[in-house]
Amino acid sequence: MFRFRFLGFAALITADMTDWLFLKFDIPSEEYFFYQNWDKALDLYMFTIATFVALSFKDRLVKNTVVALYLLRAIGDIIFFTTGQQQILLFTPNFLETFLLFYLGYTKVTGKEMLVKSWKQVLLLLAVIATTKVSHEYMLHILRMQPWDLFDLGTALGLTGTIREYFNYIVMGGFVLHAPPLLLFLYYVIKNKRVKI
């Protein structure tokens, strides 16, 4: 990530997301709770590196936002590690991942390092991220389920086995859950792109 910021961070997120597909256990179970601790520890390690990289960003508002989001999630993770209460993660949501991916993707596509001009724009971006992220955190840490447990789009389309699992994870987890930030990202890119689409 130090050299290839966007691709490096995207690779880390992909690895973090896909490990779930290879681990088969019931929810809740002893293995599940062990996984949650292991996963959150690796997340914190990844976010620590990402935040260190963000300290070199030229966009001061983005840099300060990344640090604030990191501290928010780190506090939640520490409370989770010491109490075992997943509910705390709902109140310290992981906005950092989406926010940083948004910024790094924007700089990669447009070649511009300045994303926002005011705290109002930062708050708007965080509000858009929150529209789906908070509900996802609620499902993960309170209901202990994934969105496709409520609506299995893969099965509805006649998919089975590993193909269904990957389809649900990528389409439901990647695109449907992140539709509002993705649409805002496209708006920013189209508005500020260095070359015509």
Q: Using CA atoms, how far apart are residues 92 and 45, in angstroms rounded to an integer?
A: 17
pTM for this one? 0.83
Confidence of residue 120 (pLDDT cuts 50, 70, 90): very high
Ramachandran quadrant class, 158 (left: phi over 0; alpha: psi -120 to 50; beta: rest)? left
Roughly how many angstroms between the first and final C-alpha of the chain, as a whole number?
27
Angle (deg, nearest 10), helices 179-192 and 119-138: 150
Question: In this prediction, what percent of the chain has a pLDDT beyond 90?
Answer: 46
pLDDT tens digits, one per residue of 23-46: 555 556 676 677 777 788 888 999
pLDDT of amino acid 15: 65
> Please, which residues have CB within 8 angstroms of residue 177's CB and are 6 or more apart in sequence?
132, 133, 136, 147
Helix, strand, coil percentages, rounded to 5, for the chain: 75, 0, 25
